[in-house]
Chain A
Amino acid sequence: DAGITQSPRHKVTETGTPVTLRCHQTENHRYMYWYRQDPGHGLRLIHYSYGVKDTDKGEVSDGYSVSRSKTEDFLLTLESATSSQTSVYFCAISESVFTGTGGFYGYTFGSGTRLTVV
């Protein structure tokens, strides 16, 4: 999607190796998120960020760490990849928007990174 890019799009790695996925945005949005999607589980939130150096855990954060040193980049790191981390990873960005009925968040998702751990 325009304004948000994920890299790489595909990656195959070996068990036990470190892996870093990158999410880059050009929208200057405050909030960024990492999700994983697996068959039978839908989209699950891994970590999210609500500003530079401000991050928090989501539903399935074990085995993952994140960093956000600048507004436009949100990195997801698998310190020691395992086969259970084989998944499709989506990044999302959002910003609060205020209308006549109050505030809401507009979300935009990236195209995903397909990670295979062998």
Chain B
Amino acid sequence: DAKTTQPTSMDCAEGRAANLPCNHSTISGNEYVYWYRQIHSQGPQYIIHGLKNNETNEMASLIITEDRKSSTLILPHATLRDTAVYYCIVRGSSNTGKLIFGQGTTLQVKP
């Protein structure tokens, strides 16, 4: 599975959009991009995933570049409750299904 690179930490003002980048330059054609977040002491929570097209759901939007080497998670109107560690994970459709986490980005939403 491809390795990802994320900034260690980011700040965002409450009510503003939070844009979290992720580099995955070694991604291969059948690998998906997943985003999870972990709020303090809780289990990771699924946010969104994509293969090549941009995706949007009730939580966030995922923008994947045309060459698929990077992506951006967008929280359109960040709230204090969005303060968490955000993980970008790239994995394929192997039989094992295992998910390997990196260090993630700690997003601090400030009032």
Q: Mark A residues whose CB is within 8 Å of B.
A: 1, 30-31, 33, 35, 42-45, 48, 50, 56, 58-59, 88, 90, 92, 94, 96, 101-112
Decide: A48 and B43 in contact? CB cutoff 8 A.
no
In the assembled complex, the CB of A41 is this many whole angstroms from the nearest CB of chain B, namely: 9
Cα–Cα distance between A16 and B103 once the two chains are bound (Å): 31
A112 to B43, CA, bound (A): 6
Q: How many residues of B contact A (CB 8 A)?
A: 28
A92, A107, A110 interface centre (most CB from chain B within 10 Å)? A107
Chain A residues within 8 Å of B44, by CB: 43, 90, 92, 107, 109
Interface residues of chain B, those whose CB is within 8 Å of chain A, are 30, 32, 34, 36, 38, 41-46, 49, 51-53, 87, 91, 93, 95-104
B100 A45 Cβ-Cβ under 8 A: yes
A-B pairs under 8 A by CB, number: 72
What residue in chain B is nearest A112 (Cβ atoms)? Answer: B43
Closest chain B CB from A21 CB (angstroms): 14
Residues of A within 8 A of B104 (CB): 42
Could you tell me the dominant secondary structure of chain B's interface residues?
A: loop
Partner of A102, one of B30, B38, B101, B102: B30
B96: A residues at CB distance < 8 A = 31, 48, 50, 56
